[in-house]
């Protein structure tokens, strides 16, 4: 990851969402992007130019646009029509973003448009967040990673976030994923946790 004077940045063209610029780079605000928050908390997290990414929950394309500044290709899946309009505009300015209007719970709908990827990045506010990640594993190559941004209050508001987190870990491990790292995204995002997993089996 690129940092200038301790500030996380990316190299692409600015003006996507009125983001600040510093020395010709786009500032990647950790309060607006959960991946940026992760990169500030875990300094060893990186994105590589050779990576292909399946991004679930692309929304308006804010974080997607920063991903595209770093990686080879981003398959950006979004379900809601209004943010999809913004995502299409963002994709029009970056040739390595493939916007896909689709339901992340139904990966078979967009399977014809997605090749094997190195990373699945998921940021969806639904109760079945682990289930969604597991359903999309066929797109992930062996040795690839899943970065799941867990919004605990969207899973079950009656449970304490720690219990939701532990239940999600168990569900991912039961699916054959290896948990590589976890962290909470405080102070940037309240009641959000990040879970990084590795795919070690085709099953």
In this prediction, residue 46 carries a pLDDT of 95
Q: What is the pLDDT of residues 6-31, one digit of tens each?
A: 999 999 888 888 899 999 999 999 99
- The reply to whether 165 falls in a domain is yes
Domain that holds residue 92: 30-199
The answer to whether the peptide bond before residue 187 is cis (omega within 30 degrees of 0) is yes
- The reply to whether 100 falls in a domain is yes
- The reply to whether 12 falls in a domain is no
Binding-site sequence positions for S-adenosyl-L-methionine? 62-63, 78-79, 103-104, 123-126
Binding-site sequence positions? 62-63, 78-79, 103-104, 123-126
Distance CA 117, CA 137 (A): 10
Distance CA 111, CA 123 (A): 19
- The reply to whether 11 falls in a domain is no
The angle formed by the CA atoms of residues 102, 104 and 110, to the nearest 5 degrees, is 50
Give the confidence band of 164 by pLDDT, cuts at 50, 70, 90.
confident
Which residues does 158 contact at the CB level (< 8 Å), separation at least 6?
none
In this prediction, residue 83 carries a pLDDT of 92
- The reply to whether 21 falls in a domain is no
Of all residues in the chain, what percent are helix, strand and coil, respectively (each to 5)? 30, 30, 40
Q: What is the pLDDT of residues 167-179, one digit of tens each?
A: 999 999 999 999 9
> Distance between alpha carbon 43 and the CA centroid of its chain, in Å?
17
Domain count, the chain: 1
Kindly report the average pLDDT of the chain as a whole number.
93
Q: What is the pLDDT of residues 104-142, one digit of tens each?
A: 999 999 999 999 999 999 999 888 999 999 999 999 999
In this prediction, residue 157 carries a pLDDT of 75
- The reply to whether 19 falls in a domain is no
Q: What is the pLDDT of residues 66-83, one digit of tens each?
A: 999 999 999 999 999 999
In this prediction, residue 203 carries a pLDDT of 59
Which residues does 101 contact at the CB level (< 8 Å), separation at least 6?
77, 78, 79, 81, 84
Which of 17, 42, 49, 51 lies closest to 121, judged by CA? 51
Which residues does 179 contact at the CB level (< 8 Å), separation at least 6?
169, 172, 173, 195, 196, 197
> Distance between alpha carbon 60 and the CA centroid of its chain, in Å?
13
Full-model pTM: 0.94
CATH number at residue 43: 3.40.50.150
Give the confidence band of 57 by pLDDT, cuts at 50, 70, 90.
very high
């Amino acid at each position: 990851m690129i940092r200038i004077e301790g500030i996380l940045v990316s190299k692409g063209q600015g003006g996507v969402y009125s983001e600040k610029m510093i020395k010709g780079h786009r500032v990647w605000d950790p309060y607006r992007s959960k991946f940026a928050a992760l990169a500030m908390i875990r300094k060893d997290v990186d994105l590589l130019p050779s990576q292909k990414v399946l991004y679930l929950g692309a929304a308006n394309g804010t974080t997607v646009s920063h991903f595209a500044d770093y990686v080879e290709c981003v398959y950006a899946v979004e379900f809601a029509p209004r943010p999809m309009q913004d995502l299409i505009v963002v994709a029009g300015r970056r040739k390595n973003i493939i916007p896909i209007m689709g339901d992340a719970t139904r990966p078979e709908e967009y399977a014809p448009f997605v090749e094997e990827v190195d990373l699945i990045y998921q940021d969806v506010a639904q109760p079945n967040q682990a289930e969604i990640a597991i359903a999309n594993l066929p797109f992930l190559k062996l040795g690839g990673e899943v970065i799941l941004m867990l919004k605990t209050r969207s899973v079950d508001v009656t449970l304490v976030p720690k219990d939701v987190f532990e239940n999600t870990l168990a569900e991912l491990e039961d699916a054959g994923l290896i948990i590589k790292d976890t962290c909470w995204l405080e102070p940037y995002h309240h009641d959000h946790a990040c879970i990084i997993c590795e795919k070690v089996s085709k099953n």
